[in-house]
Amino acid sequence: MSAYNRGTELDLSWISKIQVNHPAVLRRAEQIQARRTVKKEWQAAWLLKAVTFIDLTTLSGDDTSSNIQRLCYKAKYPIREDLLKALNMHDKGITTAAVCVYPARVCDAVKALKAAGCNIPVASVATGFPAGQTHLKTRLEEIRLAVEDGATEIDVVINRSLVLTGQWEGSDFIKTSTGKETVNATFPVAIVMLRAIRDFFWKTGNKIGFKPAGGIRSAKDSLAWLSLVKEELGDEWLKPELFRIGASTLLSDIERQIYHHVTGRYAAYHDLPMS
Amino acid sequence: MRTGVIGLILPPTFSFLEMMWRICPALAVGCTVVALVPPASPTPLLLAQLSGELGPFPGVLNVISGPASLVPILASQPGIQKVAFCGALEEGRALRRSLAGECAELGLALGTESLLLLTDTADIDSAVEGVVDAAWSDRGPGGLRLLIQESVWDEAMRRLQERMGRLRSGRGLDGAVDMGARGAAACDLVQRFVCEAQSQGAQVFQAGDVPSERPFCPPTLVSNLPPASPCAQVEVPWPVVVASPFRTAKEALLVANGTPRGGSASVWSERLGQALELGYGLQVGTVWINAHGLRDPSVPTGGCKESGCSWHGGPDGLYEYLRPSGTPAQLSCLSKNLNYDTFGLAVPSTLPAGPEIGPSPAPPYGLFVGGRFQAPGARSSRPIRDSSGNLHGYVAEGGAKDIRGAVEAAHQAFPGWAGQSPGARAALLWALAAALERRKSTLASRLERQGAELKAAEAEVELSARRLRAWGARVQAQGHTLQVAGLRGPVLRLREPLGVLAVVCPDEWPLLAFVSLLAPALAYGNTVVMVPSAACPLLALEVCQDMATVFPAGLANVVTGDRDHLTRCLALHQDVQAMWYFGSAQGSQFVEWASAGNLKPVWASRGCPRAWDQEAEGAGPELGLRAARTKALWLPMGD
C-alpha cells in the first residue's frame, strides 16, 4: 500500500463547488472505449499488466476451503505456465494483486497462500457486506477479527445512511460499489471518481487509490479501464498500490486472450485451469 | 421548386462526411451537382467513384479534381444556377466580387474557427474535453477561441495543460491517436501564427506525444495575447487554442461578438438561465450548451457575419437549393463596363428646367430618421412630379451623412425592438395597419394623382393594411424544436433578426411594395433603413407620419434622394447587416459586388419586375425566410 492518507479537515465547500455535467461525461465515456485501442503484442503486455491489478474475488454463499484453495492457487499462477514462457514472462513474478474473500474465509485463504508460497495480501470484505446495515460494534469487531486472521486489506462498506445525511468518512482507496448492485462499475461514474482523485491530489498531495468492481468480465473492458486510468491520472496510478480491479471471471477471459495471442487459436473451456 | 445545377466548391480540409452533407440535400431536392475538389486529398476519388455508381442517372453528380484557379471558371459557367463555396474568407470575398451580376446565385460558408465560453459554474473537466473535441482532434474543422471566466482561469489552464500532455498525434490509421496531420501548408500557418503571437507578447504552450516529422504540428495553447494585437484579429488556425479571460457574462458576450466571424460556439455553464442567456446573445449560427461539435443532418448548420450565410442541414439547408415556384431562374445582369468606383458617387443635379408655374406646394418633406422628420445634411430637396407632369411635392435630397445617421438610429433602436416578444411586435404592426386604414382617403388621393384609379388605389391601401396584419400574425406562430436522433434533449431552431436591414424599394407600387417590404422586416425584429420608390416617395412619407406616432424612434427610417447614390452608401456600409434591392440591373450588380465588404446577405431583383399585388410574390414565405437568420441551439439533457 502507498503511504496512508493522512486525511484533511472535512471542507464541504470543495464538494459544493464541483460541477459535473452528466451528458458531457457520458460522451467522454463513449470516446474512451473507442479511442485507445491496443493491438498485438502491446495488447498482450497490457493484459498481463491488467492481471497484476486484479483482486481475485470470491464472494458467494457456498464458499468453502476447497474453492478458496483453488482460488489462491490461481492467484499465484494466474496464467498457464507455458503461455507465459512463450511470452518470456514466466520469471517476472506475475500474480494477481490480492485475493478477496468473506471474513469467515480469511483463515483458509491465508493458509492456502502460505502453502503455495505466495505473499500476496488477503483482502477481506467486512462491516456487514454488502448492505452495511449492522451495528457499529459488530462492524468494528468484524474488522478486528479479519485482521487477526491475517487480512491486510479491508473493503469497508460505508454506512449509506450517513452518506445520505452528509456525514462523510475518509479512506485510502475508493471503490465504485460493492459489486453486488444492479449497476456497478460504469465508465461515467469512474470518470467522475478519477477526476475527484486527481483534484484531491492537487489540493493535498495525497494519492488515493481506485477500484472498480462488479461487471468487468471481458479482457477488452479491462483494457479500457487501464487506458481510462492512464488518461485521467497518468502512469503513476497504474500500480497495484493505487489501482485494483475487483473481478472473478475476468481472469479467465484474459487467459483466453493470451492463449489466442500465443497460439493463434481459440481455447476450449477445458484447456485452461479453473479458478 | 429546385434550383437547377449547383456548382459546389469544397476545400481540401473537408472530410467525406462533410462533402456528403452538402451534396446529398442538393441531390435529394432534384438538383444536379458539379463538385470541384482540390487534388490534395484522396476523398474526391472516392466521391467520383460513388458518382460513377449512379449508373442509371449519369451526370447527376460530377466531380472535378482541380486547383483553386478553376474556381472562377466554374463559377461563371453559363449553365450553373447556384455556386456554393466552402473555404477561406478571402477567397470567398474575391468570389463574391467576381460573381456580381452573373446569373449564378452565391452561397458562402467560410472560416473554420469556433468559440468556447467557459463560465465559473461549468464542469471544467468536461469543458476541457470540449476543447479537445473542438481543436485537438480530427473532428474539429479549425482552431478555437477560448474564453475563460477569470475566477476559474488557473484551474482551467492547469487542466488544459495536463490534458494536452496526454494527447497523441500520429497517422490516422493508428487506432490510439487523437489527431492526425493536415498537410504542410497548415503546419506552416501554425508556425507563423505561433511566432507572431510570441513576438506580440503571448505565452505559448505546446505538449502532447507528437512525431517530429514535418506535417505533424503539436496541440498549441496561446494565452496572454493582447486583444489589440494583429494575431487576435485573424482566424485561429488548427490546432491552436487562443485563451483569453473575461470577468462577467456581459463582458463575455462583448468579447465573443467582437469579431467578424460568426460560425459556431459552445457555452459551458451549469446554470440554465445563464447558459440560455449567453446562448441567445452570441451572434453565431450554432450554439451548443455544455457540449461542442455535435452535428446532425437534420439540424441547420451555418453562420452569420463573415462566416457566410449559407446553410447545410435541416430545412434551411434545403432552402439553399430551392427557389419559390413560379419565379424564373435568375437572369444574368452582368454589365462588363460597370465602373464600381464611380457608380452612384456623384448625384446628378436636379435643377428645374424653368420657373415653376402653379400653386405653391407644401414645404418639402424632411428625412424620417430617428422617429421624426429632419432636414437633410445637404439642405436641398428634389421635386416629385405626378402622372400629369405637375409638381406633386418636394422631398429631401439625402446623402451619405444622412445614411450614416439613419443606420446609427436604426442600431440604437435595434436592441429594444429585437428584445420585444413577437406578440408585442405584432401589436405595433396592427396599430400601423389601423392608422393606414384611418387615412385611406388621403393615401388613395395621392395614389390617384400618380395615375391610379380610385378603386385600385383604395384596394392598394386596404391590401397594405392587410399585409401588415398578416405578417404580425405569422411571426407569432413559430415552431422551434427539432428532433435529433441519438440526442436526449431538444435542439431549438431559432429565427433571429438580422440586425439593421437596408431596403431599396421598387419604383412601381409606391405604397404596396413599401409596406410589403417593411412588414416582414419589422415583424422578425429587424430595424430598417428604407429608400422609397424614386418615382413617388410621397406615399412612403405619408406612412412615416403614422409611424412617427405608432413606432418607437429609429425603428423604421426613410431616406429619400438619388437612388443610386443612396444605394452606394448603404451597400458599402459595414454596419448594415443585410440589403434588399429592387432597382435597376446595374444597381443590383453593384450591390452584390459591394456586399463583399462585410459579406452581408443580399437580395437583388436584377431589374426584373415583381408582382407585388400577388400573394406569392408580395407576401410569400420567401420574404419571411430572408428577413431573419437561423440559429441552432443544442440543449443536451441529463443529470
For chain A, what is the domain count? 1
- Is residue A258 one of the residues assigned to a domain? yes
Cβ contact, residue pair A24, B290, below 8 Å: yes
Residue of chain B nearest A224, judged by CA positions: B176
pLDDT at B415 over 90: yes
- Is residue A3 one of the residues assigned to a domain? no
Cβ contact, residue pair A23, B637, below 8 Å: yes
Measured between beta carbons, which residues in chain A are less than 8 angstroms from residue B166? 230-231, 234
Separation in Å, CA of B632 to nearest CA in chain A: 18
Q: Which residue has the cell 474575391?
A: B94
Domain CATH for A202: 3.20.20.70
In the prediction, which pLDDT does A4 show?
64
> Could you report the per-residue pLDDT of A139-188, keeping only the tens digit for each?
889 999 999 999 998 888 887 777 777 777 778 888 887 777 777 788 99
Say which residues have a Cβ less than 8 Å from residue B219's Cβ, sequence separation at least 6.
B135, B136, B164, B167, B169, B179, B206, B207, B208, B210, B239, B241
A175 as an active site residue: the answer is: yes
Residues in A lying within 8 Å of B, measured between beta carbons: 19-28, 35-39, 195, 202, 230-231, 234
d(CA B462, CA B512): 9
In the prediction, which pLDDT does A2 show?
46
> Could you report the per-residue pLDDT of B325-347, keeping only the tens digit for each?
766 666 666 777 788 888 888 87
> Could you report the per-residue pLDDT of A198-249, keeping only the tens digit for each?
999 998 888 999 999 888 889 999 999 999 999 899 899 999 999 999 888 8
In the prediction, which pLDDT does A72 show?
92
Ordered domains of chain B (ranges, CATH):
5-111 (3.40.605.10), 114-262+264-302 (3.40.309.10), 367-480+498-628 (3.40.605.10)
Cβ contact, residue pair A23, B638, below 8 Å: yes
pLDDT at B352 over 70: no
Going by pLDDT thresholds of 50, 70 and 90, the confidence category of residue B527 is very high
pTM of the model as a whole: 0.89
* Catalytic, out of A40, A175, A180, A230: A175
Mean pLDDT, rounded, of chain B: 88
- pLDDT average, residue stretch A108-116: 92
Say which residues have a Cβ less than 8 Å from residue A120's Cβ, sequence separation at least 6.
A75, A76, A95, A96, A97, A98, A99, A113
- Is residue A237 one of the residues assigned to a domain? yes
Going by pLDDT thresholds of 50, 70 and 90, the confidence category of residue B74 is confident
- Is residue A4 one of the residues assigned to a domain? no
Going by pLDDT thresholds of 50, 70 and 90, the confidence category of residue B43 is confident
- Is residue A1 one of the residues assigned to a domain? no
Cβ contact, residue pair A23, B176, below 8 Å: no
Say which residues have a Cβ less than 8 Å from residue A116's Cβ, sequence separation at least 6.
A72, A73, A76
**Domain membership of residue A177 as a residue range:** 10-267
| Chain B interface disruption, residue of A16, A18, A19, A46, most B CBs within 10 A | A19
Residue B379 CA neighbour count, 13 Å, CB half: 0
- Is residue A196 one of the residues assigned to a domain? yes
Cβ contact, residue pair A231, B166, below 8 Å: yes
- Higher pLDDT among residues A211 and B77, named by residue: A211
Going by pLDDT thresholds of 50, 70 and 90, the confidence category of residue A190 is very high
The total number of residues shown for chain A amounts to: 275
Comparing CA positions, the residue from A210, A220, A218, A274 lying closest to residue A245 is A210
In the prediction, which pLDDT does A228 show?
92
pLDDT at B287 over 70: yes
Q: How far is CA B373 from the centre of its chain?
A: 30
> Could you report the per-residue pLDDT of B249-286, keeping only the tens digit for each?
999 999 999 988 889 999 999 999 999 999 999 999 99
- pLDDT average, residue stretch B157-173: 89
Mean pLDDT, rounded, of chain A: 87
C-beta neighbour count of B132 within 10 angstroms? 27
- Is residue A273 one of the residues assigned to a domain? no
Going by pLDDT thresholds of 50, 70 and 90, the confidence category of residue B479 is low
- Is residue A219 one of the residues assigned to a domain? yes
Q: Which three cell numbers stand for residue A82?
A: 507455458
Q: What is Dmax (Cα atoms) for chain A?
A: 56
What are the DSSP E strand ranges found in B488-526? 491-497, 500-504
Comparing CA positions, the residue from B459, B366, B463, B363 lying closest to residue B405 is B366
Measured between beta carbons, which residues in chain B are less than 8 angstroms from residue A23? 290-291, 488-489, 636-638
In the prediction, which pLDDT does B329 show?
65
